[in-house]
Amino acid sequence: MPARQYWLMKSEPEECSIDTLAQSVSQCLPWTGVRNYQARNFMRDAMQVGDGVLFYHSSCPQPGVAGLAEVASAAYLDATQFDPASPYFDARSQREAPRWLHVDVRFVRKTRLLGLAEMRAQPGLAGMTLLRPGNRLSITPVTPAEWQLILELLERT
């Protein structure tokens, strides 16, 4: 069994916040809407059930880590790609060769908001993929050391 891995997953809280996840049925939601191949490949090729997830609020007044979650399924078909009414509809994706997949993500707990500026101020997080200039990936890997440090930071008030 492979070692547990860690990820940071961005979500716009207006669409799906850590509270949305906490209040959903069985506190578990399909991570629909990923339309970037690199992010998809992380879900398809690397994620394992039980991997740790930092739930990150993006494109909002206070961007930052807002809670913890975990990967709850293997990657499977993202049905929104075939739904013309969905904002995630992809006319180029074909039924016989679907482009987009997603995993399910399960709520673990809410945390204090660990803001971007605070993360940038941490020498131990300087190498984080999230913090790289111009990074736009909605799913990024987190190293065990980064995960450990972030958990410690989340315990501080």
Binding site residues, DNA, CB under 7 A: 10, 12, 35-38, 58-60, 63, 92, 116-117, 132-138
Of 152, 62, 153, 151, nearest to 115 (Cα)?
A: 62
**Which residue lies nearer to DNA by CB, 12 or 124?**
12
Which secondary structure element, helix H or strand E, spans residue 18, and what is its range? helix 18-23
Smallest gap, in angstroms, from Cβ of residue 120 to DNA? 7
Q: Are 130 and 8 in contact (CB under 8 A)?
A: yes
**Which residue lies nearer to DNA by CB, 59 or 148?**
59
Smallest gap, in angstroms, from Cβ of residue 25 to DNA? 26
Cβ-based burial of 22 (10 A; exposed 0-12, middle 13-18, buried ≥19): middle
Smallest gap, in angstroms, from Cβ of residue 7 to DNA? 14
Smallest gap, in angstroms, from Cβ of residue 153 to DNA? 17
**Which residue lies nearer to DNA by CB, 60 or 151?**
60
Q: Are 140 and 150 in contact (CB under 8 A)?
A: no
**Which residue lies nearer to DNA by CB, 27 or 35?**
35
User: Tokens standing for 58?
Assistant: 């993006």
